[in-house]
Amino acid sequence: MRAWIALFKKDFKLTRTVCFVGLIINFLIAMLTLYVGRDTTGNTLFMFIPLAVAVVFHILYFPIIVFISLKTEANQLHLWLHNPQPARTLLFSKIVNGLMMMTISLLTLYVMTGLLIIPNFNLIEAYWTDVWMAGLFMFLHIIMFSLVIGIWVIFLWTLYHYLKFKIGRWSWLVVIGAVIGPCWINALFESTKLYNLLVEWGSMTYTYNFPFFSENPTQVYAGEYLYNTLIIIGLFYLSAWFNDKKIEV
Protein backbone atom coordinates (compact mmCIF):
# COMPACT_ATOMS: atom_id res chain seq x y z
CA MET A 1 0.00 0.00 0.00
CA ARG A 2 2.84 2.37 0.84
CA ALA A 3 4.37 1.76 -2.61
CA TRP A 4 1.06 2.57 -4.31
CA ILE A 5 0.67 5.80 -2.30
CA ALA A 6 4.16 6.85 -3.40
CA LEU A 7 3.18 6.08 -7.00
CA PHE A 8 -0.03 8.09 -6.63
CA LYS A 9 1.89 11.08 -5.24
CA LYS A 10 4.19 10.95 -8.25
CA ASP A 11 1.22 10.93 -10.64
CA PHE A 12 -0.29 13.86 -8.76
CA LYS A 13 2.92 15.87 -9.17
CA LEU A 14 2.92 15.13 -12.92
CA THR A 15 -0.51 16.74 -13.40
CA ARG A 16 -0.98 19.14 -10.49
CA THR A 17 -0.16 22.18 -12.65
CA VAL A 18 -3.00 21.27 -15.02
CA CYS A 19 -5.32 20.83 -12.05
CA PHE A 20 -4.45 24.23 -10.59
CA VAL A 21 -4.82 25.91 -13.99
CA GLY A 22 -8.24 24.27 -14.29
CA LEU A 23 -9.31 25.65 -10.90
CA ILE A 24 -8.21 29.14 -11.98
CA ILE A 25 -10.27 28.76 -15.18
CA ASN A 26 -13.26 27.73 -13.03
CA PHE A 27 -12.84 30.91 -11.00
CA LEU A 28 -12.65 33.04 -14.16
CA ILE A 29 -15.82 31.37 -15.46
CA ALA A 30 -17.55 32.24 -12.19
CA MET A 31 -16.46 35.86 -12.67
CA LEU A 32 -17.84 35.74 -16.23
CA THR A 33 -21.12 34.41 -14.83
CA LEU A 34 -21.31 37.37 -12.43
CA TYR A 35 -20.63 39.75 -15.32
CA VAL A 36 -23.30 38.13 -17.50
CA GLY A 37 -25.75 38.25 -14.59
CA ARG A 38 -25.14 41.94 -14.09
CA ASP A 39 -25.93 42.71 -17.72
CA THR A 40 -28.74 40.18 -18.14
CA THR A 41 -32.24 41.54 -18.43
CA GLY A 42 -35.34 39.40 -18.05
CA ASN A 43 -34.54 35.83 -17.05
CA THR A 44 -31.65 35.91 -14.58
CA LEU A 45 -31.06 32.16 -14.88
CA PHE A 46 -29.41 32.67 -18.28
CA MET A 47 -26.40 33.97 -16.36
CA PHE A 48 -25.57 30.35 -15.47
CA ILE A 49 -24.96 29.33 -19.08
CA PRO A 50 -21.13 29.79 -18.82
CA LEU A 51 -21.04 27.54 -15.74
CA ALA A 52 -23.23 24.92 -17.45
CA VAL A 53 -20.93 24.91 -20.50
CA ALA A 54 -17.89 24.55 -18.23
CA VAL A 55 -19.48 21.56 -16.49
CA VAL A 56 -20.24 19.83 -19.81
CA PHE A 57 -16.69 20.42 -21.08
CA HIS A 58 -15.46 18.39 -18.10
CA ILE A 59 -16.17 15.33 -20.25
CA LEU A 60 -12.70 16.02 -21.68
CA TYR A 61 -11.06 16.70 -18.31
CA PHE A 62 -10.12 13.13 -17.37
CA PRO A 63 -8.83 12.17 -20.86
CA ILE A 64 -6.64 15.29 -20.92
CA ILE A 65 -5.21 14.61 -17.44
CA VAL A 66 -4.47 10.98 -18.33
CA PHE A 67 -2.91 11.89 -21.69
CA ILE A 68 -0.62 14.50 -20.13
CA SER A 69 0.47 12.03 -17.47
CA LEU A 70 1.17 9.28 -20.03
CA LYS A 71 2.93 11.69 -22.38
CA THR A 72 5.26 12.69 -19.54
CA GLU A 73 5.97 9.02 -18.80
CA ALA A 74 6.79 8.46 -22.47
CA ASN A 75 9.84 10.73 -22.08
CA GLN A 76 11.33 8.14 -19.70
CA LEU A 77 9.35 5.06 -20.69
CA HIS A 78 12.05 2.60 -19.71
CA LEU A 79 11.96 3.80 -16.10
CA TRP A 80 8.18 3.64 -15.90
CA LEU A 81 7.87 0.17 -17.43
CA HIS A 82 10.69 -1.20 -15.28
CA ASN A 83 8.83 -0.22 -12.13
CA PRO A 84 8.40 -3.37 -9.99
CA GLN A 85 4.67 -2.65 -9.75
CA PRO A 86 2.49 -4.43 -12.38
CA ALA A 87 1.06 -2.31 -15.21
CA ARG A 88 -2.48 -2.48 -13.82
CA THR A 89 -1.21 -0.79 -10.64
CA LEU A 90 0.64 1.90 -12.59
CA LEU A 91 -2.41 2.63 -14.75
CA PHE A 92 -4.87 2.45 -11.86
CA SER A 93 -2.89 5.13 -10.03
CA LYS A 94 -3.27 7.45 -13.01
CA ILE A 95 -6.99 6.71 -13.25
CA VAL A 96 -7.59 7.44 -9.56
CA ASN A 97 -5.51 10.62 -9.79
CA GLY A 98 -7.43 11.82 -12.86
CA LEU A 99 -10.83 11.05 -11.31
CA MET A 100 -9.85 12.81 -8.08
CA MET A 101 -8.79 15.96 -9.93
CA MET A 102 -11.89 15.90 -12.11
CA THR A 103 -14.16 15.48 -9.08
CA ILE A 104 -12.45 18.37 -7.27
CA SER A 105 -12.88 20.60 -10.32
CA LEU A 106 -16.54 19.66 -10.78
CA LEU A 107 -17.29 20.15 -7.08
CA THR A 108 -15.65 23.58 -7.27
CA LEU A 109 -17.99 24.54 -10.11
CA TYR A 110 -21.02 23.22 -8.24
CA VAL A 111 -20.07 25.14 -5.08
CA MET A 112 -19.61 28.32 -7.12
CA THR A 113 -22.99 27.71 -8.77
CA GLY A 114 -24.60 27.29 -5.36
CA LEU A 115 -23.08 30.53 -4.09
CA LEU A 116 -24.32 32.38 -7.18
CA ILE A 117 -27.79 30.84 -6.87
CA ILE A 118 -28.30 32.07 -3.28
CA PRO A 119 -29.07 35.72 -4.24
CA ASN A 120 -31.53 34.47 -6.89
CA PHE A 121 -32.93 31.53 -4.95
CA ASN A 122 -36.47 32.89 -5.14
CA LEU A 123 -36.41 32.26 -8.91
CA ILE A 124 -35.87 28.51 -8.52
CA GLU A 125 -37.22 27.80 -5.03
CA ALA A 126 -40.20 25.93 -6.46
CA TYR A 127 -37.87 23.88 -8.66
CA TRP A 128 -35.08 23.24 -6.17
CA THR A 129 -35.53 19.45 -6.10
CA ASP A 130 -35.42 19.30 -9.91
CA VAL A 131 -32.31 21.49 -9.97
CA TRP A 132 -30.54 19.30 -7.41
CA MET A 133 -31.48 16.05 -9.20
CA ALA A 134 -30.46 17.43 -12.60
CA GLY A 135 -27.09 18.45 -11.17
CA LEU A 136 -26.50 15.00 -9.67
CA PHE A 137 -27.61 13.28 -12.90
CA MET A 138 -25.24 15.43 -14.97
CA PHE A 139 -22.37 15.00 -12.47
CA LEU A 140 -22.49 11.18 -12.57
CA HIS A 141 -22.91 10.93 -16.35
CA ILE A 142 -20.12 13.38 -17.10
CA ILE A 143 -17.77 11.32 -14.94
CA MET A 144 -18.81 8.09 -16.68
CA PHE A 145 -18.48 9.47 -20.23
CA SER A 146 -15.16 11.08 -19.34
CA LEU A 147 -13.93 7.79 -17.85
CA VAL A 148 -14.87 5.86 -20.99
CA ILE A 149 -13.00 8.34 -23.21
CA GLY A 150 -10.03 8.36 -20.83
CA ILE A 151 -9.76 4.56 -20.84
CA TRP A 152 -9.73 4.67 -24.65
CA VAL A 153 -6.90 7.21 -24.45
CA ILE A 154 -4.93 4.80 -22.26
CA PHE A 155 -5.56 1.89 -24.62
CA LEU A 156 -4.64 3.87 -27.76
CA TRP A 157 -1.49 5.24 -26.11
CA THR A 158 -0.50 1.69 -25.15
CA LEU A 159 -1.27 0.37 -28.63
CA TYR A 160 0.80 3.12 -30.24
CA HIS A 161 3.87 2.41 -28.09
CA TYR A 162 3.54 -1.30 -28.82
CA LEU A 163 3.27 -0.77 -32.57
CA LYS A 164 5.96 1.87 -32.99
CA PHE A 165 8.62 -0.76 -32.32
CA LYS A 166 6.96 -3.13 -34.78
CA ILE A 167 5.97 -0.99 -37.77
CA GLY A 168 7.45 2.42 -36.99
CA ARG A 169 5.76 5.54 -38.30
CA TRP A 170 2.84 3.54 -39.74
CA SER A 171 1.66 2.88 -36.20
CA TRP A 172 -0.38 6.11 -36.33
CA LEU A 173 -2.49 4.68 -39.14
CA VAL A 174 -3.28 1.59 -37.09
CA VAL A 175 -4.16 3.74 -34.08
CA ILE A 176 -6.51 5.84 -36.23
CA GLY A 177 -8.05 2.60 -37.48
CA ALA A 178 -8.39 1.47 -33.87
CA VAL A 179 -10.49 4.60 -33.27
CA ILE A 180 -12.66 4.44 -36.39
CA GLY A 181 -13.15 0.67 -36.46
CA PRO A 182 -14.57 0.15 -32.96
CA CYS A 183 -16.75 3.28 -33.29
CA TRP A 184 -18.23 1.90 -36.50
CA ILE A 185 -18.70 -1.59 -35.06
CA ASN A 186 -20.23 -0.18 -31.87
CA ALA A 187 -22.65 1.97 -33.90
CA LEU A 188 -23.75 -1.11 -35.86
CA PHE A 189 -24.08 -3.18 -32.69
CA GLU A 190 -26.17 -0.52 -30.95
CA SER A 191 -28.66 -0.68 -33.82
CA THR A 192 -29.30 -4.40 -33.30
CA LYS A 193 -32.00 -6.12 -31.27
CA LEU A 194 -29.29 -7.99 -29.36
CA TYR A 195 -27.92 -4.71 -27.99
CA ASN A 196 -31.39 -3.59 -26.91
CA LEU A 197 -31.92 -6.95 -25.24
CA LEU A 198 -28.63 -6.65 -23.35
CA VAL A 199 -28.94 -3.07 -22.11
CA GLU A 200 -32.64 -2.21 -21.91
CA TRP A 201 -33.32 -3.45 -18.41
CA GLY A 202 -33.46 -1.67 -15.07
CA SER A 203 -35.32 1.32 -16.50
CA MET A 204 -35.08 4.65 -14.62
CA THR A 205 -36.98 7.77 -15.66
CA TYR A 206 -36.19 11.36 -14.68
CA THR A 207 -38.34 14.42 -15.43
CA TYR A 208 -37.10 17.96 -14.86
CA ASN A 209 -39.20 21.10 -15.06
CA PHE A 210 -37.50 24.49 -14.86
CA PRO A 211 -38.80 28.06 -15.08
CA PHE A 212 -37.74 28.60 -18.68
CA PHE A 213 -38.10 25.16 -20.22
CA SER A 214 -39.77 21.81 -19.69
CA GLU A 215 -37.76 18.76 -20.64
CA ASN A 216 -39.19 15.48 -21.81
CA PRO A 217 -38.63 12.58 -19.40
CA THR A 218 -35.07 11.23 -19.52
CA GLN A 219 -34.95 7.43 -19.54
CA VAL A 220 -31.80 5.49 -18.72
CA TYR A 221 -31.14 1.81 -18.12
CA ALA A 222 -29.01 -0.01 -15.58
CA GLY A 223 -27.96 -2.24 -18.49
CA GLU A 224 -26.29 0.72 -20.20
CA TYR A 225 -24.22 1.42 -17.10
CA LEU A 226 -23.19 -2.24 -16.91
CA TYR A 227 -22.32 -2.26 -20.63
CA ASN A 228 -20.07 0.79 -20.28
CA THR A 229 -18.51 -0.61 -17.10
CA LEU A 230 -17.60 -3.85 -18.88
CA ILE A 231 -15.99 -1.84 -21.72
CA ILE A 232 -13.98 0.18 -19.17
CA ILE A 233 -12.79 -2.94 -17.34
CA GLY A 234 -11.99 -4.80 -20.58
CA LEU A 235 -9.95 -1.95 -22.08
CA PHE A 236 -8.16 -1.38 -18.77
CA TYR A 237 -6.97 -4.97 -18.46
CA LEU A 238 -6.12 -5.18 -22.17
CA SER A 239 -3.99 -2.03 -21.81
CA ALA A 240 -2.31 -3.44 -18.70
CA TRP A 241 -1.57 -6.72 -20.53
CA PHE A 242 0.01 -4.86 -23.47
CA ASN A 243 2.15 -2.81 -21.07
CA ASP A 244 3.29 -5.90 -19.17
CA LYS A 245 3.90 -8.27 -22.04
CA LYS A 246 4.22 -6.45 -25.34
CA ILE A 247 5.75 -2.99 -25.05
CA GLU A 248 9.49 -2.92 -25.57
CA VAL A 249 11.89 -0.17 -24.51
Q: How big is the chain by its Cα radius of gyration, in Å? A: 21
pLDDT at 5: 87
Inter-residue contact 217 to 205 (CB < 8 Å): yes
- Residue 233 pLDDT greater than 90, yes or no: yes
* pTM of the entire predicted model: 0.85
pLDDT at 206: 63
Q: What is the DSSP string of 83-147?
A: SSS-HHHHHHHHHHHHHHHHHHHHHHHHHHHHHHHGGGHHHHGGGHHHHHHHHHHHHHHHHHHHH
Lowest mean pLDDT among 58-62, 67-71, 133-137: 133-137
pLDDT at 165: 74
Which residue type, as a one-letter code, is found at position 80? W
- Residue 154 pLDDT greater than 90, yes or no: yes
* Interval 24-42: pLDDT, tens: 999 998 888 877 766 655 5
Tally of CB atoms within 10 A around 191: 9
What is the chain's mean pLDDT, rounded? 81
pLDDT at 247: 64
**What is the average per-residue pLDDT within 69-73?**
88
Confidence grade of residue 168 (pLDDT, cut at 50, 70, 90): confident
* Interval 76-105: pLDDT, tens: 777 777 777 888 888 999 999 999 999 999
- Residue 213 pLDDT greater than 60, yes or no: no
pLDDT at 39: 60
